[in-house]
Amino acid sequence: MMSSTTYDVRRGRLQTYFNATAVDQWAQLTSTAPVSRIRQTVRAGRDRMREMLLDWLPPLEGARLLDAGCGTGALSVIAAERGAHVTAVDVAANLVDLAKERAPWDLGPGRIDFHVGDMLDPLFGAFDHVVAMDSLIHYSTAEIVGFLEGVAPRTRRSIVLTFAPQTPALAAMHFVGRLFPRGDRAPEILPVSPARLIRAIAVSPKLSGWSAARTERIVSGFYTSQALELVRA
Ligand SMILES: C[S@@+](CC[C@H](N)C(=O)[O-])C[C@H]1O[C@@H](n2cnc3c(N)ncnc32)[C@H](O)[C@@H]1O
Q: Is the pLDDT of residue 198 over 60?
A: yes
Q: Looking at residue 4, what is its pLDDT?
A: 73
Mutation test residue for ligand 1: of 135, 151, 190, the one with most atoms within 8 Å of CB? 135
> Are 64 and 37 within 8 A, CB to CB?
no
Q: Is 4 helix (H, G, I), strand (E, B) or coil?
A: helix
Question: Which atom of ligand 1 has the smallest separation from the CA of 74?
Answer: 9
| pLDDT reported for residue 169 | 63
Instruction: With H, G, I as helix, E, B as strand and everything else as coil, classify residue 229.
Output: strand
**Ligand 1 within 6 A of 143 CB?**
no
pTM attached to this predicted model = 0.94
Per DSSP, the three-state class of 217 is: strand
Average pLDDT over residues 65-77: 98
Q: Which of 2, 10, 13, 14 gets mutated to test ligand 1 (max ligand atoms within 8 A of its CB)?
A: 14
Distance of CA 25 to the CA centre of its chain: 17
